[in-house]
A = this chain, B = another copy of it.
Amino acid sequence: MTDILKIKEVIKNSQKVTIISHYSPDGDALASQLALARGLEQIEIEISLINKDPIPDAYQFLKNWECIKPLEEIPDFASVIICVDCATWERTGYLKEQLIGEKTIVINIDHHISNTNFGHLNWVDPNAAATAELIYDLLGLLQVKIDKIIATSIYTGISTDTGSFLYENTTATTHIVVADLINRGADINLVRNSYYENINISKINLLKYGLNNLSFSVDNQVCWVAFTRDVFNNANATDADGEGLINHLKSISGVEVAIIFRETTSDTIKLSFRSKKWADVNQLASKYGGGGHPRAAGCTITGNLDSVVDGVINWVVQSIAQGGTSKFGWDNKCT
């Protein structure tokens, strides 16, 4: 049971609301926060915005991004906390006791299928292309006018979370919402120029390294790149610069599973997985204590980079070799 109407009532009766999203924030997280904040300010609600991690440069074109602060810099937060785009409370990056008191009401608005309904009130719709699509609905329900700035934010959340309308989560509704956002003044040229066509040299250097160091196996069905810390350091690259690289691997003809290994400390390796059609990489990442979606998942493994690469690739290759449509030996839920 989705608590849409209760959420509307709680918000309308609030004087102050805190909006929080997830650590390592992406476009949908930030856009949802900022669009909701600007919308609620229109109906005289005081807003504070909290995020564990800094706003990546790539999203600093979003109006008022600098209003999002870490908890330590917020003098006072509200007893109504809206979590946007967080599948679990832990995704906020904060312990519950840091933000939730006896009287706190937690509202959970999200589109991840893995959402745990951790809020007191929950609006979780896995059919939405982005959390920002739900914010569009919520603002409509609250009869808030979607102005040019809100429209641009929501457009950004939807556009970035769908890979510019390419991913499977894109629906007819997504395009209808976007048509309305453009009619309301969404600045799609700003988003293109500031995000899609504003790739810094660090990111280009990571891509260059990646293309120069592609590895393939199982008739090119598996493609991977391993990044040492030195590669990132030499490219002067951040975590955010590494985002999206894996899509280049996945987009190669015949590749079904793309993997990026990244050494973050001398014995910690972060792995990202993507799949194209049939492989359930959520289950692959789960084997190593991670998770995500069937087409996009991640995990962290303790060990030396070379040995982690060898171990994971050997296992993936063996699993595919065992064959069939359930090529990892799992039930294939994705076809």
Contacts and interface: CB of A to CB of B under 8 A. Distances in A.
A250 B197 CA distance: 7
Q: Which of A172, A174, A189 has the most CB of B within 10 A?
A: A172
Given A179-B173, A179-B179, A182-B171, A166 B196 contact: yes
Nearest to A277: B193
A164 interface: yes
A211 interface: yes
Contact of A198 (B196, B211, B251): B251
Given A200-B253, A211-B207, A252-B201, A192 B166 contact: yes
A170 interface: yes
Nearest to A211: B208
Contacts of A207: 211
A27 to B, nearest CB: 14
B164 A199 contact: no
Contacts of A200: 252-253
Contacts of A171: 182
A217 to B, nearest CB: 15
A204 interface: yes
Given A166-B164, A193-B276, A277-B193, A252 B179 contact: no
Nearest to A168: B189
A212 interface: yes
Given A164-B164, A193-B276, A204 B199 contact: no
A188 interface: yes
A183 interface: yes
Contact of A182 (B175, B182, B188, B211): B175
A38 B89 CA distance: 52
Contact of A165 (B164, B172, B201): B164
Contacts of A214: 204
Interface in A204-220: 204, 207-208, 211-212, 214
B252 A204 contact: yes
Interface string A264-285: 0000000000001100000000
Which 7 residue pairs of A and B lie closest in terms of their CB atoms, listed nearest first?
Answer: A175-B179, A172-B182, A208-B211, A172-B179, A175-B175, A197-B251, A164-B164
Interface of A: 159, 163-168, 170-176, 178-180, 182-183, 188-189, 192-193, 196-201, 204, 207-208, 211-212, 214, 250-253, 276-277
Given A164-B166, A204-B214, 7 more contacts: A164-B164, A164-B165, A166-B196, A170-B188, A172-B180, A175-B182, A176-B179
29 contacts: A163-B164, A164-B164, A165-B165, A165-B178, A166-B188, A166-B192, A167-B192, A168-B189, A172-B178, A172-B180, A172-B183, A173-B179, A175-B176, A175-B182, A176-B176, A176-B179, A179-B179, A193-B277, A197-B251, A197-B276, A198-B251, A199-B252, A200-B252, A201-B252, A204-B211, A208-B208, A208-B212, A211-B211, A212-B212
